[in-house]
Structure 1
Amino acid sequence: MTGADERTTVRNPVVDRRVRGEALEGGAAGLDVAALLARTGGNVAAPVRESQGGARSMDAGGHGAALPDETGPAASPRDADALAAAVTAVANRFTATPLDPDADFFDAGGTSLAAVEFVAALARELDIHLDLDTVFFDARPRRLAQRWLADHPKAASPQRNPETEPVTDDLAQLFTDLTGADRLPLVAAPDRVAPRRILLTGATGFLGSHLLLDLLRHSQAHVVCLVRADDDQDAVRRLEDAVRRFALPWSREILRRVTPLAGDLRLPRLGLTEDQWKTLAAEVDSIVNAGAAVDFLRGYPSLRRTNVLGPLTLAELACTDRPKPLHHISSLAVFNGTDAATLNEDDPTAHVAALPIGYDRSKWAAEAVLRRAGEHGLVVTILRPGGIGSHPETGAHNPRDLNAGITAALLRFRTAPGFRYLNAAPVDWVSRVTAEIVGTPSAWGHTYHLTGAPTSLDQVVAETTLGGMGIRVQHWEQWCDDVVRAIREEPVPELESLAQVLQSPVARRQLAAMVTAPPASAARTEAFVTANGLPAPTASGAARGRMLAAMASFGPQPGDEPYLRFDETLTGTVGPVGSDADIPCDLRLTLSVASGAQVLAARTLDVTGELACARLHDEPLTVEGTATVRPHDGIPLRHEVRHPLMHYRLTLRDSSGGEWWLEGYKFAAARRRFVRQLGTQVIEIGRAGEPASYRGEVAVPMHTYLPDQIDGIRIDPRLPERQQRLAKLLWLSWFGGQLGKGLMEPILRVGIDLLDLRRAARKEHRR
């Protein structure tokens, strides 16, 4: 935006704040972020709005709160309370619900992109210049005011000394939070029986939505879902929206076994009334906590209510009325900063002071709280995923997860940070194993790593090369700089949130810990998976292709060099349908693959070129379409004994816009001339929207095979030479294997038919 349009619009208090917050998180304002980030650095644009006299905004109670005149900076010196009130008034324009000076901006529904706008507004209206890391660390308006006054003592009122109100020490706050577990009562062990009524938090999240469906599929339990919502009807709507967002099914049958309950994990007693709390404590017999604030920019003070006090409240619920087991989704982040050679399930976690960011510390503190709760008799199961990957079938993924962002950058820019190991598993496997543990009483009370086998950097390079996405490996600092630059230069709005994270020194510390992480061991999980007949967290080639194809929006873009291409010449004759006339027909085609995901997912190649047929048109026609390898998995067409090897669907156009269609098959049959079958194509041609008017046969001349389809294979020149050679070898192996399989299918079918005839003859002979 430029000129007058660059002015930021003030939110109308009557507009639904949650809708605005969700729009920001979804990237609707992504194109404005670069400008907003620039504004936070000093030079500020026009005032946020015109006003007559003093501007006013809504305070926490919904009343007008006076702000300094927006024609210039606020006058100094400043009183801490007055400044906190002014910061609160500005913050309330960017949150989903009103907040007071001691409430967290993000807990009130503020988003990462809204925080950028908030910082810009503080600089523009109050002349308070805060960096984003300060806001993310502790986003309570009073603390922001105190921090600014501590850094600018000359601006403070003489009667108020900012040093008497010290900035929050997150470690001191963390250890204070741990003492909350000491107030839990002593309880007896719960009954070791499969749960019949489960309380699930975080069901609107990526893992939580999948976990909800797995709990329903693999148990008879009824599930109560705690959902942050205005009321229970709103909770139903938000839960349905979340489930559908991740390509999961939703039906009345699901709702019959699910009770969405409006509440809030951040609030005392989950924001429930006394009666609701007592009823919930009496009715549920198992608690599963998949709720968490996952934000690598926010500090511990900003995350503690959700990630630490929330689990503590659930522990209190588990101790109320009859004892209940508590299953807590933690994270391998509790090991970040450790110098251990491997991460075993029963190993001590990292020293809390070594954890690089607030998110890691909040997950560490939650585990510490629950360990203390276990000393009071509570049965606690800790489940630690690493990276939670996309669903291998649907491709559903969490677009705001750092691992998903790195994968998206890999697919879009074909570059990855140099790391030792990736400890990750697809979401469907993490969810399935979690649901099985929840429903298996003998598995309770232990720690499980839900990671599968660690993946090395060499494995990732090999798999992406096989998938047609050869990558460059860079030092993580250089990778951060290059990815941010690429996102901003193109631009790529859907990756704007990743750029914001990678610009933060705090988040970079998290990335540094990730790339040096040792491999995780999951011996207990592997034993449980084997004992219960669960699948391993591996994706087949086809499933991996579908996953990559589903994320293709980050992959090769229009105008990019194809991953692989080669030429094919076909020459022969066609004639009018019902006629014996032979009309020469030649095709000169180029077959290409944009990425390996294209062939893994659908065995499809892109086709371009031209067709020359004087009877059809005086000039050559341009060709565009697709060719499918082993269509229908080689099953014969109806009333056919030949098995399809390849299926061409092409559109033909002349220079004036006239259009034809061409459909052709290469078939395999039980005969000796294998090579001839590979190159011969039976074709039909017709005018667009009309039946076929020409039929014939074209074939690849034998002398063109080697120069065109083997020596003539061209690989994306951006790939290193070694990866180009490997890509060519892998393509020939795959393509040759597919065609070889297709040639064998009719022979095998004949063999089966002969066996059937022999069996029938024996049966007849016995009669």
Structure 2
Amino acid sequence: MREVNENVSAAADQRATAEAIERGGVGLTVTDLLARVKGATEPTEPTGPPERPGADAPPTAAGADLSRGPDELATAIAAVAGRFVPAGQLAPDADFFDAGGTSVNAVELVSALEGELGVSVDLDEVFADARPIALARRRLESTGAAIAVPPQPVEPATPMAAAPPLTTPPDSTARPEDLSQILADLALADRLPFTAPPEPLPPRRILLTGATGFLGSHMLLDLLRHSDAHVHCLVRAADEEAATARLGEALRSYGLPWSSEVRRRITVLPGDIRHPHLGLSDDLWHTLTHELDSVVSVAAAVDFLRGYQSLRTSNVLGALTLAELAATGRPKPLHHISSIAVFNEVGIPSMGEDDPLAHIDRLVAGYDQTKWAAEVALRRARDHGLVVTALRPGGIGGHTRTGAYNPQDLSSGLISAFGRFRTVPAFRYLNAAPVDWVSRVAVAAICEPDAWGFDYNLTGVPNTLDDVVRDMAFGGMHVRVQDWDEWRSDALARLEAEPIPELAFLTRVLQSPTALKLCEATLKGPAATADRTGALVEALGLPPAARYDARAQVKTFEALAHDGLARLPHKDDQPYLWFTETTRGGVGPVAGSPDTPCAMALTLSIASMHQLVTDRRVDVRGEVTCPALHAEPLTVERGDIWIRPEEGIPQRHGLRHQLLRYRLQLTDADGGRWWLEGHKYARARRDVWRQTRALTVEIGREGEPASLAGEVVVPADSYVRDQIDGIKVDPRLTSQEKRAAKLTWLAWFGLEMGRGLLGPFARAAADLLDLRRTQTPTEHRR
């Protein structure tokens, strides 16, 4: 998963918020808060070389005494944790992930704390709140030690009212400390500047965050393609050169252009949404507040294992900083990429664009909580006059044409597991849409002033379980449906037995109780509805929402397979559908008499219907018996048949069309290699039945021209028996699916052959009509 480093101390943040509440709500902005937090958590300069794994542990880290207070234990934990972050040190109140720790580092940290300090910490606790001080407090609480914890600030009902104690219902699944922090963060929206409505004009100068991400990179290109805007891209990097290089690398990795035209219409700004004023200088911030006319918020930390405390700086405070930019100076709309995860509560009845969001206390994943808090905070910002458009994608699938996908996305990980293990967990709906459609509709809303200020579900047409199973079968991936617990156990066992580095994060997700609850809510959720989005798409003449069907899925599978994350069907697999073809005839020297018998006993098969429709290709195995080549039968080592390979392009002035092209690689028992090229042609003649059975062949040694040529024919009495009645289908399919597969093949193949046979007749008729038009009346009478 994508690791987003955040730099914030929840305790310092709470103190800053409490001070604002005590002042009666006077003037503590998001910038003030981020500045105080950044100052409170800035790591101190090291006095010596940084500690690294394997180095001697500092005195405070060796044999820490749990009888000590939380501050001493936090210092010991921070000393160990510092070895797993790039800076080599970590302040006790700094977040481990914010300092650069990864999910893999978190696993290593848990092991090190157990081995070196004797401190047993659950991995989920690290993901929930990875500050050493928080880990120390939870450890001491688990041992029954009495510790003093600063009270959590709660937004008051009136500026000077005392904060009521926070109470949670018995069915709450969120941590009380997270709920308290969420309430404090929501209060920050009330301190945003008031602003006037923006001019209702298409944007010309846009600030875009998240342009190096999967969705953001596609939105950047769509903004350039479908508007005249100049786009300022905020990119996390040390300087402009590094930011530009990072942006270009990201675009190229998703198959998007990084051309001089793209670079001419963008300005790359090195910055960070987690810092005050986005990490920009005061002068540049002031310039942007007066020159921009649109702010687009796409950047977010996406990690389903980390908790609210660890993600809030990027996903909540970052969104509020962008709201501050939009509300300052020239009035600007804010277009915020939210998520359908704001509804991710088990048992929620509906997910419409204007439906109530989930109960915050019943969201278990930190990511869901931060997306909920950001959207609710921005709703409160609307009361200050800020025009906020909330755009909620669901699962974002691969590009329908390029197959580009997000390799570190949970959805991609699950899809790769579906294809790799040929199993799918039972679910109600899959609210997913391809990235190209999500990006195009989001950009349309940004560029259309009449669309501003509303909420949109960019979820496409929901897929049912039957849809996904059928689509995967179309791609040759016949899957078995399991209940969630069975699927999880099976997938986890396979991943542990055969570790796949790129799917290590999926293994951790399947082991995390928090992430499992998130998956449960997703699998059991209702279909998302998007009436407003549909109306916008229709009004603007955009491509309508389509189900993320087999073609889009297989494109993604092809990209996943290329990266080793999934496995598409191939010739060595049991075929999807197959039948035999027997031919007999004769061959002889090229331009000579075909007086030597030649026969072929072949098995024709397809790995998937997708292969057939997309590649128009059939796989071939079998034997060729030709005494003129070898005394023993030759084995078809590799064979392909292309159906209507020229797509109806006429040969020889249109009097002959190519129906099928055979290309076989042959080998004999001694290792000799041969090739066979065959063609079935359609001609404007009455022997149509023979044309579909006759194959003109040429045969030669590998690397040499043809030495034999002739014709072989499928006997009339075996054609129907073998190629219609004798069709076999994957035995794993049900009887109904087998019948459907046969009928689909026969209908498709019959239609293609019919088109091929009709071509020469139509061409001959057209030539005849043209000839009659050129005749004079006298010639016509003759």
**TM-score bucket of the superposed structures, by smaller chain:** 0.7 to 0.9
Establish whether residue 634 from structure 1 lines up as the match of residue 618 from structure 2: no
| Residue of structure 2 in register with 1:719 after alignment | 733
| Residue of structure 2 in register with 1:28 after alignment | none
Change in 2 beyond 3 A, CA 1:177/1:737: same
Which residue, out of 45, 60, 75, partners 1:61? Answer: 45
Establish whether residue 526 from structure 1 lines up as the match of residue 526 from structure 2: no
| Residue of structure 1 in register with 2:614 after alignment | 601
| Residue of structure 1 in register with 2:580 after alignment | 567
Q: Is the 8 A contact 2:4 2:97 kept in 1?
A: no
Matched position secondary structure for 2:692: helix
Q: How does 1:232-631 map to 2 (within 5 A)?
A: 232-337=240-345, 339-538=347-546, 546-552=555-561, 553=564, 554-556=566-568, 560-623=573-636, 624-631=638-645
Larger deviation: 671-680 or 449-458?
671-680
Matched position secondary structure for 2:647: helix
| Residue of structure 1 in register with 2:165 after alignment | none
Which residue, out of 659, 669, 672, partners 1:645? Answer: 659
Q: Is the 8 A contact 1:426 1:537 kept in 2?
A: no
Matched position secondary structure for 1:169: helix
* Counterpart amino acid of residue 700 in structure 1: V
Task: Find the aligned partners of 1:224 and 1:390 in 2 and give their Cα distance.
Answer: 26
Q: Is the 8 A contact 1:588 1:609 kept in 2?
A: yes
| Residue of structure 2 in register with 1:127 after alignment | 118
Matched position secondary structure for 1:295: coil
1:341 to partner: Cα distance: 4.1
1:164 to partner: Cα distance: 6.8
1:753 to partner: Cα distance: 4.2
1:353 to partner: Cα distance: 1.2
| Residue of structure 1 in register with 2:133 after alignment | 142
Task: Find the aligned partners of 1:239 and 1:543 in 2 and give their Cα distance.
Answer: 26
1:318 to partner: Cα distance: 0.4
Q: Is the 8 A contact 1:60 1:88 kept in 2?
A: no
* Counterpart amino acid of residue 126 in structure 2: V
> Which digits, 9 at most, give the CA deviation of each residue in 1:342-393, with x for residues without a partner?
3221111111112232111111101011111111001110111111111111
> Which digits, 9 at most, give the CA deviation of each residue in 1:237-288, with x for residues without a partner?
1111111111112211111111221111122211112122112222221111
Task: Find the aligned partners of 1:427 and 1:387 in 2 and give their Cα distance.
Answer: 9
Task: Find the aligned partners of 1:663 and 1:613 in 2 and give their Cα distance.
Answer: 14
| Residue of structure 2 in register with 1:110 after alignment | 101
1:75 to partner: Cα distance: 4.9
| Residue of structure 2 in register with 1:182 after alignment | 190
Q: What is the total number of aligned residue pairs between the two structures?
A: 707
> Which digits, 9 at most, give the CA deviation of each residue in 1:602-627, with x for residues without a partner?
12222222211111122222211222
* Counterpart amino acid of residue 733 in structure 2: L
| Residue of structure 1 in register with 2:80 after alignment | 90
Task: Find the aligned partners of 1:497 and 1:503 in 2 and give their Cα distance.
Answer: 10
Matched position secondary structure for 1:652: strand
Task: Find the aligned partners of 1:226 and 1:375 in 2 and give their Cα distance.
Answer: 27
Q: Is the 8 A contact 1:469 1:596 kept in 2?
A: no
Matched position secondary structure for 1:633: coil
Compute the TM-score of the two structures, normalised by the length of structure 1: 0.86
Task: Find the aligned partners of 2:82 and 2:301 in 1 and give their Cα distance.
Answer: 20
> Which digits, 9 at most, give the CA deviation of each residue in 1:160-200, with x for residues without a partner?
83667999711110111111111111110111111111111
| Residue of structure 1 in register with 2:715 after alignment | 701
Q: Is the 8 A contact 1:574 1:584 kept in 2?
A: yes
1:721 to partner: Cα distance: 4.2
| Residue of structure 1 in register with 2:755 after alignment | 741
1:640 to partner: Cα distance: 6.0
| Residue of structure 1 in register with 2:147 after alignment | 161
Change in 2 beyond 3 A, CA 1:630/1:310: same
Compute the TM-score of the two structures, normalised by the length of structure 2: 0.84
| Residue of structure 2 in register with 1:656 after alignment | 670
Task: Find the aligned partners of 1:335 and 1:125 in 2 and give their Cα distance.
Answer: 42
Task: Find the aligned partners of 2:313 and 2:641 in 1 and give their Cα distance.
Answer: 56
Q: Is the 8 A contact 2:400 2:551 kept in 1?
A: no
Q: How does 1:43-58 map to 2 (within 5 A)?
A: none
| Residue of structure 1 in register with 2:38 after alignment | none
Q: Is the 8 A contact 1:331 1:385 kept in 2?
A: yes
Change in 2 beyond 3 A, CA 1:702/1:119: farther
> Which digits, 9 at most, give the CA deviation of each residue in 1:45-82, with x for residues without a partner?
xxxxxxxxxxxxxx863444673579985455444334
- What is the alpha-carbon root mean square deviation over aligned residues? 2.9
Establish whether residue 668 from structure 1 lines up as the match of residue 682 from structure 2: yes
Task: Find the aligned partners of 2:82 and 2:691 in 1 and give their Cα distance.
Answer: 72
Report which of the two structures shows the higher radius of gyration computed on alpha carbons.
2
Matched position secondary structure for 2:368: helix
Establish whether residue 199 from structure 1 lines up as the match of residue 190 from structure 2: no
Matched position secondary structure for 2:392: strand
Task: Find the aligned partners of 1:61 and 1:672 in 2 and give their Cα distance.
Answer: 91
Change in 2 beyond 3 A, CA 1:701/1:376: same
| Residue of structure 2 in register with 1:173 after alignment | 181
Task: Find the aligned partners of 2:472 and 2:654 in 1 and give their Cα distance.
Answer: 39
Matched position secondary structure for 2:302: coil
Q: What percentage of aligned pairs have identical amino acids?
A: 54
Q: Is the 8 A contact 2:534 2:545 kept in 1?
A: no
Q: Is the 8 A contact 1:228 1:263 kept in 2?
A: yes
Task: Find the aligned partners of 2:321 and 2:314 in 1 and give their Cα distance.
Answer: 10
Task: Find the aligned partners of 1:110 and 1:599 in 2 and give their Cα distance.
Answer: 47
* Counterpart amino acid of residue 61 in structure 1: E
Change in 2 beyond 3 A, CA 1:739/1:283: same
Larger deviation: 512-521 or 669-678?
669-678
Q: Is the 8 A contact 1:198 1:223 kept in 2?
A: yes
Task: Find the aligned partners of 1:97 and 1:725 in 2 and give their Cα distance.
Answer: 63
Structure 1 unaligned regions, length at least 5: 1-17, 22-58, 155-159
Larger deviation: 271-280 or 708-717?
708-717
Q: Is the 8 A contact 1:68 1:126 kept in 2?
A: no
* Counterpart amino acid of residue 293 in structure 1: A
Task: Find the aligned partners of 2:652 and 2:62 in 1 and give their Cα distance.
Answer: 80
Q: Is the 8 A contact 2:3 2:303 kept in 1?
A: no
Change in 2 beyond 3 A, CA 1:318/1:164: closer
Establish whether residue 710 from structure 1 lines up as the match of residue 724 from structure 2: yes
Change in 2 beyond 3 A, CA 1:344/1:76: closer
Change in 2 beyond 3 A, CA 1:275/1:585: same
Task: Find the aligned partners of 1:278 and 1:105 in 2 and give their Cα distance.
Answer: 33
> Which digits, 9 at most, give the CA deviation of each residue in 1:593-647, with x for residues without a partner?
2333322331222222221111112222221122222223232357663222222
1:215 to partner: Cα distance: 0.5
* Counterpart amino acid of residue 674 in structure 1: V
Structure 2 unaligned regions, length at least 5: 6-42, 153-174
Matched position secondary structure for 2:399: coil
Q: Is the 8 A contact 2:66 2:73 kept in 1?
A: no
1:751 to partner: Cα distance: 4.4
Matched position secondary structure for 2:738: helix
* Counterpart amino acid of residue 434 in structure 1: A
Matched position secondary structure for 1:101: coil
Task: Find the aligned partners of 2:358 and 2:232 in 1 and give their Cα distance.
Answer: 34
Q: Is the 8 A contact 2:405 2:559 kept in 1?
A: no
Change in 2 beyond 3 A, CA 1:622/1:319: same
